[in-house]
Amino acid sequence: MAAVWAISTIVIKAGSNWERKMFIESSRFAASAIAGTTVVNAGLALLVFATPFGWMGLVVGGLAVAGTAAGTSIWTNNKLKSNSGDWYDDIMNWLK
């Protein structure tokens, strides 16, 4: 219904040049639809190519961070476990 109203409005406003106006309007619509579709397809193609590498980077980076954090925690725990008794004795001797 809206399309019929738009076409009749164009015909009434255009007067004797309605074919020309209709060609201009339909060409603008088709060109903008094609341009929009092309941009969407290009963006989706970039996402398809970027997503596997992005996810791989995220997973590898996450594993590296988690591994480093776990390694640091284990190393710190072992150092404190083996040295905390000596540090306690040193502090108590210093306070006497």
Domain residue limits, the chain: 2-95
Q: Kindly report, residue by residue over 64-73, the tens digit of the pLDDT.
A: 777 777 777 8
Q: Kindly report, residue by residue over 38-93, the tens digit of the pLDDT.
A: 777 777 676 666 666 666 765 676 677 777 777 778 777 777 776 777 777 787 78
Check: pTM over 0.95? Answer yes or no.
no
The per-residue DSSP string of 3-68 comes to: HHHHHHHHHHHHGGGHHHHHHHHHHHHHHHHHHHHHHHHHHHHHHHHHHHHHHHHHHHHHHHHHHH
